[in-house]
Amino acid sequence: MTEVFAPAHLVISLPLLVGAVSSGWAGLGWGALAAGLCGGIPFAVIALGVKSGRFGNRHITSRTERPKLVAIIVALVVTALGLLVVLGAPRVMVACVAIMLATLAVVGPITMVWKVSFHTAVAAGAVAMLAQVLPAVPVYVVGGLLVALTGWSRVVIRDHTPAQVLVGAMAGASATWVTLAALG
């Protein structure tokens, strides 16, 4: 679960899925732009960081390694958001990237003092976003189970405590709901 639902995988697949479901092929193009900037480039930065020894592993389990990476990701997400707005992307795509920025704004500062789970934050936010474009009840049922299993896997491998995965999930879902409500 930790590998399959890693934040990078979700951040790459979420905009592609949201774009395709909401706007067909054109939406898939918008999703590819968002996925590349918000997920693809950070994934490459992480892979290169692990290879060069700057990061201990691709899950960035050491809290001290997170600040610079979070700053890079924030810059890329802001760039993606700006491009989507300037280029006239559908509102749902702008919302999809805005929730990524909101989640970083909530979870980023927490991780500076406490090792909150980005896995569960991103997963819970993705579930809340998908519930906007797909039938909500099945998304919340299946998604909630997958978030719980992801959190469980993070605890089992001792990367997080139960509190860290729970707070991560609550932060990601809350940031998403607030952002979606604000964008109306």
| pLDDT class of 70 with cuts at 50, 70, 90 | confident
CA atoms within 13 A on the CB side of 152: 7
In degrees, to the nearest 5, what angle opens at C-alpha 99 toward C-alphas 95 and 103?
Answer: 175
Question: What is the reported pTM?
Answer: 0.92
Alpha helix positions (H), the chain: 7-35, 41-52, 66-87, 91-113, 118-133, 136-156, 162-183
Q: Which of 98, 123, 94 is nearest to 13 (CA)?
A: 123
Q: Which of 153, 77, 68 is nearest to 112 (CA)?
A: 68
pLDDT in tens, 128-154: 999 999 999 999 999 999 999 999 999
Q: Of the ranges 33-37, 69-73, 89-93, 155-159, which one carries the lowest mean pLDDT score?
A: 69-73
Residue 32 included in any domain? yes
Question: What's the confidence (pLDDT) of residue 2?
Answer: 84
Mean pLDDT, residues 24-33 taken together: 97
- For the record, the structure tokens of 139 come out as 């998304």
Question: What's the confidence (pLDDT) of residue 152?
Answer: 98
Q: Which domain holds residue 103?
A: 7-183
Quick one: what percent of the chain has pLDDT higher than 70? Answer: 100
Residue 150 included in any domain? yes
Question: What's the confidence (pLDDT) of residue 51?
Answer: 96
Q: How far apart are CA 173 and CA 99, in angstroms?
A: 9
| pLDDT class of 20 with cuts at 50, 70, 90 | very high
Residue 2 included in any domain? no
Residue 2, classed as helix, strand or coil, is: coil
Q: What are the Cα distances from residue 9, in Å, to 3, 13, 114, 164? A: 9, 6, 23, 20
Q: How many structural domains is the chain composed of?
A: 1
Q: How far apart are CA 151 and CA 168, in angstroms?
A: 9
| pLDDT class of 66 with cuts at 50, 70, 90 | confident
Residue 70 included in any domain? yes
- How much is the mean pLDDT over the chain? 95
Mean pLDDT, residues 166-180 taken together: 98
Mean pLDDT, residues 30-45 taken together: 96
Q: How far apart are CA 162 and CA 116, in angstroms?
A: 10
Residue 1 included in any domain? no
Question: What's the confidence (pLDDT) of residue 7?
Answer: 92
Q: How far apart are CA 23 and CA 8, in angstroms?
A: 23
Question: What's the confidence (pLDDT) of residue 104?
Answer: 94
Residue 177 included in any domain? yes
Mean pLDDT, residues 152-161 taken together: 96
